[in-house]
Amino acid sequence: MPSVRLVTEEDIGRTMVTSASTLPSTVWSYIGVSALLLAMIGTWLVWFSEVIQRSLQEEGVRSACQRAMPDAADRCFDTVVIDPGRGRR
């Protein structure tokens, strides 16, 4: 079979050209799904950054309590984390 085919007048008359049209509801559903996916990813990123920040802060408080009061570091940490404003009297 040859790699090139001759197109005749009959072939041109029989050929139908179809155009794919996108329905507005399909476009809006893609936009809605994309917005939902972006909102979920953004929410997860905010939550994850909060968890990381909280763990870093707790680690800093634990190390400060260990340096200041090595014998009662756990009690110091609990006091600072549970009631942070009370120790400033």
pLDDT band at 20; cut points 50, 70, 90: low
Residues 54-78, mean pLDDT to the nearest whole number: 90
Contacts of 80 (CB under 8 A, 6+ apart): 61, 65, 87
Better-scored residue on pLDDT, 63 or 18: 63
Better-scored residue on pLDDT, 30 or 21: 30
C-alpha pair distances (Å), 81 with each of 34, 61, 87, 88: 40, 8, 11, 14
